[in-house]
Amino acid sequence: MEKQAIYDQVAALVADHFELNPDQVTGNLNFLKDIDADSIDFVELVLEMEDAFDAEIPDEDADKLTTINDTVDYIYNHQK
């Protein structure tokens, strides 16, 4: 899957999960600082991404995914 397609899907998941206007979602959006996601919100989002991309994101890796760009890079580099 191309990086832009991954970005588009991650951005859509984030916008939907956190009820954001898609225009508010940028690559540098920080889950904890910009949208004040708590740990439960973040875990739910990671589970949604795992389903969407048919991927497993270990907890120790998920902890490092702080922005949309981090998440896109991780998924892109760990594709099956």
Kindly list the catalytic residues: 38
Q: How far is Cα 74 from Cα 31, in angstroms, rounded to an integer?
A: 15
Residue 52 neighbours by CB distance under 10 Å: 14
Instruction: Give the tokens for residue 57.
Output: 């994101």
